[in-house]
Chain A
Amino acid sequence: MKRTRFAVILAAAALILGACGDAGEDDKDPVDTEVDSNAAAQFEDGTRMKEIAESGKVKIGVKYDQPGLGFKAAGDDAPTGFDVEMAKIVAAKLGIKAGDIQWVETISDNREPFLEKGTVDFVFASYSITDDRRKVVGQAGPYFLTGQQLLVKKGSGIKSVEDIKGKDVCSVTGSTSLANAEAKGAKVRGFETYSQCRDQVLDGAIDSMTTDGSILLGYAALNPDELEVVGEPFSEERIGMGYAKDKPELCQFLTDTVQEAMDSGDWAKAFEATLGKSGAETPEPPAMDPCA
Chain B
Amino acid sequence: MQVLIDNFDRLLEAFLTTFRLFLVAGGLSLVFGTILAGMRVGPIDVLSKAAAFYVTVFRNTPLLVLLLLVVFGFPKLDINLGYFWMNILALTMYTSTFVCEALRSGVNSIPLGQAEAARSVGLGFTQTMQNVVLPQAFRAVVPPLASVLIALTKNTSLCSVFGMAEATALMKGLLNDNTSQLWWIFGGIALGYIVIVELISTVAGLLERHWRIA
Residues of A with Cβ closer than 8 Å to B?
5, 8-9, 11-13, 15-17, 108-109, 112, 130, 132-133, 135-137, 168, 170, 173-176, 178-179, 182, 188-192, 196, 199-200, 203-206
Contact = CB atoms under 8 A, between A and B. Distances in A.
A175 B173 contact: yes
Interface in B28-46: none
Given A8-B76, A190-B161, A175 B176 contact: yes
B169 interface: yes
Nearest to B86: A205
Interface string B151-172: 0000000001111110001111
Interface of B: 68-69, 72-73, 75-77, 80, 83, 160-165, 169-180
Contact of A12 (B69, B161, B173, B176): B69
B163 A9 contact: no
B177 A132 contact: yes
Contacts of A15: 72
Given A15-B72, A168-B83, 11 more contacts: A9-B69, A130-B177, A132-B178, A135-B180, A168-B163, A173-B172, A174-B170, A176-B177, A189-B83, A190-B164, A191-B161
Contacts of B164: 189-190
A175 B177 CA distance: 8
Contacts of A173: 160-161, 169, 172-173
Contacts of A189: 83, 163-165
Contacts of B76: 8-9, 11-12, 203
A258 B105 CA distance: 67
B162 to A, nearest CB: 7
Contacts of A133: 179
Most chain A C-beta atoms within 10 Å of own C-beta, residue among B73, B160, B174? B73
A221 B212 CA distance: 66
A13 B163 contact: no
Contact of A9 (B77, B80, B161, B179): B77
Nearest to B172: A174
B73 A12 contact: yes
Nearest to A131: B180
Contacts, number: 89
15 contacts: A9-B73, A9-B76, A13-B73, A16-B68, A16-B72, A132-B177, A132-B180, A173-B161, A173-B173, A174-B170, A174-B172, A178-B173, A182-B165, A189-B163, A190-B161
A176 to B, nearest CB: 6
Nearest to B174: A174
Contacts of A188: 165
A192 B72 contact: no
A136 B180 CA distance: 6
Nearest to B160: A173
Contacts of B169: 173-174, 190
Given A199-B72, A205-B75, A112 B163 contact: no
B177 A179 contact: yes
A58 B178 CA distance: 28
B173 A205 contact: no
Nearest to B65: A13
A108 B171 CA distance: 13
Contact of B162 (A130, A132, A191, A203): A191
A188 B76 CA distance: 20
A44 to B, nearest CB: 30
Contacts of A12: 69, 72-73, 76
Contacts of B68: 13, 16-17
Contacts of B170: 174
Given A109-B176, A132-B178, A136-B180, A190 B75 contact: no
A209 to B, nearest CB: 12
Contact of A112 (B80, B171, B179): B179
Given A12-B69, A196-B72, A132 B165 contact: no
Nearest to A133: B179
A8 B161 contact: no
A179 B165 CA distance: 10
A5 B177 contact: no
A168 B81 CA distance: 13
A168 to B, nearest CB: 8
Contacts of A199: 72
A7 B177 CA distance: 41
